[in-house]
Amino acid sequence: MIDGIEPLYLVIAESIPQAIPEEWSTATMEVIFYPHSSTYVGEYTRKADGVPRDFETSHSAQRAFREIRKKFKEAGKPLWGRAWFELQPDGRFNMKWGYDNCDENGDTRFDKKEEFKRHEERHRRLTRPAG
C-alpha cells in the first residue's frame, strides 16, 4: 500500500454522490492521462430504470487522481495511463489501473481513431432510450 492514498480515495468517493442529481445503483469516474493533457469522465446508472447517464466530475476529484498518480511515482511504482473508480451507493468502491498502451512515462499514447471510437461508444450508451 502507498502511504497517503486512502484520503484521496475518500475525496473521489465523496465527490461522486454530490454530482449525481438522482438515485443511482453504480457510478464510475474514469481518467486518462495523455502526455500533454488528461480526460475525466463521470458516469452513473440510474436506479429507477438502469439507464446510464453522465455527471460532471469535480475539480477536487480530478486533483485527487493526479495526486494518487504522483504518489505512485514517488513510491517508485509503475505509472498507469488510465484509472477507473467505481462506487456503490453504500460506499464500497473498486479502483482499477490501466497500463495498456502506455509510453515510457506512463502516459496513454493518443490514438485518434481509438479516441473517436471511445467517444462514439459512450455517446451511444448515454443517448439510448430508456426502457
Position 130 scores a pLDDT of: 64
What pLDDT is stored for residue 131 in this prediction? 58
Residue with cell 480530478: 62
Q: Which of helix, strand or coil describes residue 103?
A: coil
Each of the 131 residues of the chain gets a pLDDT tens digit; together they read 799 999 999 999 999 999 999 999 999 999 999 999 999 999 999 999 999 999 999 999 999 999 999 999 999 999 999 999 999 999 999 999 999 999 999 999 998 898 889 889 988 888 876 65
Determine how many CB atoms are found less than 10 A away from the CB of residue 100.
9
pLDDT of residue 125: 86
Domains along the chain with CATH numbers: 6-127 (3.30.500.20)
CA atoms lying within 13 Å on the CB side of residue 29: 27
Dist. CA 50–CA 90, nearest whole Å: 17
Residue 107, classed as helix, strand or coil, is coil
* Contacts of residue 109, Cβ cutoff 8 Å, sequence gap at least 6: 81, 101, 102, 103
The percentage of the chain sitting over the pLDDT mark of 90, rounded to a whole number, equals 85
b/e per residue, 35-49, with b = 16+ CB within 10 A? eeebbbbbbbeeeee
Helix 6-19 / helix 59-74 crossing angle, nearest 10 deg: 160
